[in-house]
């Protein structure tokens, strides 16, 4: 029993020595881990709270757009971008506001909204904003700026529309050859998209794309005739 007590005392002494040497480090690690967990939980709560508030503001914006209440559209969109710019509702709201403002004849505000999404949005929303911004710039005859929005990489789903838009800009500039090439590229990409599908859905897609294909062909052929 005495031997056991002696061994126990030696182990206790070793533990005390170890703790004296490494105790502060262990305490620091445990404290940092605890703070990290609390911070992570706090961040998740903050994100959920931000998303919830942004959703309500976006709902206000949608109603205002339907009612053509442009002052309320601008106010709601401004709040989304200023307070909730990191949420998915911000680019959605900016796109909604851009359409409402353009329809109301306020192209300047529409461009600001679209430019924000083109700069801060992600993936398809960013590409959609660039495409729409190019259309607004084309309407204003800012051809070089429109082409800049159409440069660079786009999601594959936008390939046909981008090529068509480039054709529209070139056509407006009087560059018939470039415009024809762009429209032909759009037709080629549309055919590739149709062929990449399989079965019944592919057939339905080809049938649905029929009128669009005819429009692209008309744009291309009208330029060929005017050569």
Is residue 1 scored above 50 in pLDDT? no
| Tally of domains within the chain | 2
Predicted local confidence at residue 175, as pLDDT: 94
What proportion of the chain, given as a percentage, has pLDDT over 70?
Answer: 70
Instruction: Indicate the average pLDDT of the chain.
Output: 81
At 133, give phi and psi (nearest 5°). -65, -40
Name the residue range of residue 110's domain: 30-121
Q: Mind listing the pLDDT tens digit for each residue in 56-70?
A: 888 898 999 999 999
**Structure-model confidence comparison of residues 186 and 22, the more confident one:** 186
Q: Which helix (H) or strand (E) element contains residue 41?
A: helix 2-66
Predicted local confidence at residue 89, as pLDDT: 86
Instruction: Tell whether pTM > 0.95.
Output: no
Same domain, residue pair 150 and 226: yes
Same domain, residue pair 34 and 117: yes
Q: Mind listing the pLDDT tens digit for each residue in 130-145?
A: 999 999 999 999 999 9
Stated length of the chain: 227
Whole-angstrom CA distances from 152 to 130, 134, 145 are 11, 13, 13
Burial per residue of 119-134, b for 16 or more beta-carbon CB atoms within 10 angstroms, e otherwise: ebbeeebbbbbbbbbb
Residue 218 lies in a domain: yes
Nearest 5 degrees, angle CA 35-CA 41-CA 42? 85
- Last residue in a domain, options 89, 121, 153: 121
Residue 39 lies in a domain: yes
Same domain, residue pair 226 and 155: yes
Residue 129 lies in a domain: no
Predicted local confidence at residue 43, as pLDDT: 45
For the chain, the first-to-last Cα distance in angstroms comes to 110
Is residue 125 scored above 70 in pLDDT? yes
CATH code, domain with 164: 1.20.58
Q: Mind listing the pLDDT tens digit for each residue in 153-202?
A: 899 889 999 999 999 999 999 999 999 999 999 999 988 887 765 433 44
SS3 content of the chain, % helix, strand, coil (to 5): 85, 0, 15
């Amino acid at each position: 029993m005495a031997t056991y007590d002696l061994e126990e005392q030696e182990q206790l002494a070793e533990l005390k020595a170890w703790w004296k040497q490494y105790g502060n480090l262990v305490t620091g690690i445990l404290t940092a881990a605890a703070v990290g967990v609390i911070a992570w939980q706090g961040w998740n709560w903050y994100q959920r709270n931000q998303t919830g508030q942004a959703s309500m503001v976006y709902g206000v914006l949608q109603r205002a757009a339907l009612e053509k209440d442009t002052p309320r559209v601008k106010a709601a969109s401004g709040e989304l971008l200023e307070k909730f710019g990191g949420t998915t509702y911000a680019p959605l709201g900016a796109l909604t506001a851009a359409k409402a403002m353009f329809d109301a004849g306020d192209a300047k505000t529409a461009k600001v909204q679209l430019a924000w999404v083109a700069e801060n949005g992600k993936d398809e929303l960013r590409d959609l904003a660039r495409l729409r911004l190019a259309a607004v710039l084309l309407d204003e005859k800012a051809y070089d700026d429109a082409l800049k929005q159409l440069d660079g990489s786009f999601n594959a789903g936008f390939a046909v529309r981008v090529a068509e838009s480039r054709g529209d800009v070139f056509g407006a500039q009087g560059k018939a050859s470039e415009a024809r090439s762009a429209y032909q590229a759009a037709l080629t990409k549309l055919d590739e998209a149709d062929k990449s599908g399989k079965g019944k859905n592919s057939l339905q897609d080809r049938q649905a794309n029929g009128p669009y294909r005819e429009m692209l062909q008309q744009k291309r052929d009208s330029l060929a005739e005017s050569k």
